Amino acid sequence: MHDSDSSQEKESGENRGSFTGKLGFVLAAAASAVGLGNLWRFPYLTSHYGGGAFLVVYVALAVTFGFTLLIAEVSLGRRTGKSCIDAFRDLSKKYSFIGWLLAIIPILIVPYYCVIGGWVLKYFVESATGNLETLATGGSGGDPYWWDYITGTATGSVLDPSIWFVIFAVMCIIIINLGVSRGIEKVSKILMPMLLVMLLIVTAFTFTLDGIGDGLAFYLVPKFEDLSYDTFLGAVSQIFYSMSLAMGIMITYGSYMKKDVNIEHSARNIGLIDTGVAFIAGLMIVPAAFCFGFQDSSGMGLMFNALPMVFHQMPMGEIVAPVFFLLVVFAALTSAMSLAETAVSIFKDRMHVSRPIAVGIVSAIILGLGLVCCLGFGPWMTNVPGDQGAGWLGIFDTLTNSILMPIAAILTCFFIGFVVKTALIEEEIEINGVFRSKKLFRVMIKYVCPLCLLAILISGMYGTFFA
Ligand code: PFF
């Protein structure tokens, strides 16, 4: 092995290095968890599914359902010291296919994640070069600018969004190829708190908007008549997305965790940071969007539609907007890298190819499928099953979040609850003291989680193939 290879191995943690301690683990996992899921996906789902009612369901599920799966994955990783495929194979050869299923998911998510990363990058550059007004008010024919942009109406083709996607993807590929994930981790320790401060500043400004009281009430006061089966399904799928669950990431991170770190405390902190950032992002976007009449209808464009309007009206918005979008780029990049890195290590370990070849394969997949997503808003716009108005990007989102992730998570729950048994996880957690949520964990992992997951799987399949 070349020297550079071995240093890359070290950088990516593949020498089974470990996080420096509890803080190192929690911050690294939080940097993977906090991403577009919190800043882009959570606010639009909250808006779409009735504001306060969705928020309450989400938080209740995060502390029960999300916490259970997070603890299970991290413990599985630390117990075996292996990443997802080998972790399952080590415990039972017969069930190693679950590891494979988990491994496919990040490979399908990274491409479309980079497409959205490209949009954020574009918004950063436009706002930094004095074009905030266009972003805020430049839409035509009643559509917001974002829609005109991604469908190519604004510029005549989808070339521009495709270029920004490629730039974002190449940034991600260069970084994982250099193996600087530890550098990025260090940087994320500085930029993550900055993101939080920016979120709070922008949120404070939105509180001064006219009519914000009604928006805040929409976000914070649950109207239980808004609760529906869909609210629940949306919340469960968002928990996977936001906490980076059911795709092998947390198993791999658990395998890098030292034996003297308390898994239960760490999982609680990761969940708290992730849910806290989502809550503040919602507080920043949902009430403001409500003021501008964006609730319900604008779906995945909510962040791109509402925020430029807020910045446009805000004193010093011309400065705040680019700084804010840059930090979102950063949050997206650290998460995209954790997804891409997981994909690279899978190809490397399982196909026994060198790291550069594995990076090459992952790059080709990202660029190929990502371009399909870009074209899916333009010439390839189509009403295929599961499209739901979001083109191929929406199909990849639904396929992973509503179908593959629930299947992988049901199998993981079954594996832990009935094959290796919960005692295996409990023992691992009890290495560092009492497992306080043991009873909750047992009931959740054996019965409640699989049932919730089955519900979202059935509805995801129905929505994709029959609706
Ligand atoms: N959890 C991160 C986010 O919320 O953006 C990264 C991520 C992981 C996104 C897994 C999507 C996903 F399916």
Exposure of 86 in the CB half-sphere (CA atoms within 13 A): 15
> Is 176 domain-assigned?
yes
Mean pLDDT over 329-336 rounds to 89
> By three-state DSSP, how is residue 68 classified?
helix
Q: Rg of the chain over CA atoms, in angstroms?
A: 21
**pLDDT(15) > 70:** no
* The pLDDT of residue 389: 59
Lowest mean pLDDT among 245-259, 275-289, 380-394, 399-413: 380-394
CATH number assigned to the domain comprising residue 161: 1.10.4160.10
User: Ligand 1 — pocket residues by CB below 6 A?
Assistant: 33, 35-38, 109, 113, 241-242, 244, 247, 335, 339
Residue 422 has pLDDT above 90, yes or no: yes
Q: What is the spatial distance between Cα 281 and Cα 381, in angstroms, rounded to a whole number?
A: 30
Mean pLDDT value of segment 92-112: 92
Mutate to test the pocket of ligand 1, among 73, 101, 113, 329 (most ligand atoms within 8 A of CB): 113
Distance CA 42, CA 234 (A): 10
Residue 3 lies in a domain: no
pLDDT score at 316: 82
CA of 275 to the centre of ligand 1 (A): 13
Nearest atom within ligand 1 for CA of residue 33: 1
CA-to-CA distance for 300 and 246, rounded, in angstroms? 22
Q: What is the pLDDT of residue 56?
A: 95
Q: Whose CA is nearest to atom 13 of ligand 1?
A: 241
Asked if pLDDT for residue 97 goes beyond 60, the answer is yes
- Rounded to whole angstroms, how far apart are CA atoms 272 and 20? 21
Residue 233: pLDDT band (50, 70, 90) is confident
Give yes or no for residue 239 having a pLDDT over 70: yes
Q: Which pair of tokens denotes residue 273?
A: 């940071």
- In the predicted model, is pLDDT for residue 262 greater than 60? yes
Full residue range of the structural domain in which residue 220 is found: 22-465
Task: Calculate what percentage of the chain has a pLDDT beyond 90.
Answer: 45
Task: Indicate whether 4 belongs to any domain.
Answer: no
The per-residue pLDDT for range 17-43, each reduced to its tens digit, is 556 666 677 877 888 889 999 999 999
Top mean-pLDDT range of 118-132, 181-195, 341-355, 427-441: 118-132
Q: How confident is the model at residue 8 (pLDDT cuts 50, 70, 90)?
A: very low
Ligand 1 mean position, distance from CA 336 (Å): 8
Task: Return d(Cα 70, Cα 91) in angstroms, integer.
Answer: 19
> What is the total count of domains within the chain?
1
What is the model's pLDDT at position 4?
Answer: 37
Q: Is the CB of residue 345 less than 8 Å from the CB of residue 14?
A: yes
Of 116, 104, 107, the closest CA to residue 36 belongs to 116
Q: Is residue 79 part of a domain?
A: yes
Residue 13 included in any domain: no
> Is residue 9 a part of any domain in this protein?
no
**What residues contact residue 50 under an 8 Å CB cut-off, 6+ apart?**
223, 226, 227, 228, 231
How would DSSP label each residue in 343-370?
Answer: HHHHHHHHH---HHHHHHHHHHHHHHHH
**Tokens 């916490």 map to which residue?**
67
Query: Whose C-alpha lies nearest to ligand 1, atom 12?
Result: 241
Q: Is residue 76 a part of any domain in this protein?
A: yes
**Model confidence over 199-217: pLDDT tens digits?**
898 898 888 888 899 999 9
From 36, 237, 334, 393, give the residue whose CB has the most ligand 1 atoms within 8 Å, as the site to mutate.
36
Contacts of 284 (CB under 8 A, 6+ apart): 43, 199, 202, 203, 206, 307
Q: How far apart are CA 251 and CA 82, in angstroms?
A: 8
Cα 33 to averaged position of ligand 1 atoms, centre (Å): 6
Burial string for 296-332 (b: 16+ CB within 10 Å, else e) reads eebbbbbbbbbbbbbbbbbeebbebbbbbbbbbbbbb
Closest listed residue to residue 411, CA positions, set 455, 445, 462: 445
Question: Number of C-alpha atoms within 13 angstroms, CB side, residue 251?
Answer: 25
Q: CA torsion, points 179, 238, 120, 136, in degrees to nearest 10?
A: -170
Q: How far apart, in whole angstroms, are the C-alpha atoms of residue 186 and residue 259?
A: 22
The number of beta carbons lying within 10 Å of the beta carbon of residue 155 is: 12
Q: Is 456 helix (H, G, I), strand (E, B) or coil?
A: helix
Name which residue sits closest to atom 11 of ligand 1, judged by CA: 241
Q: Is 2 among the domain residues?
A: no
Mean pLDDT of 344-363: 86
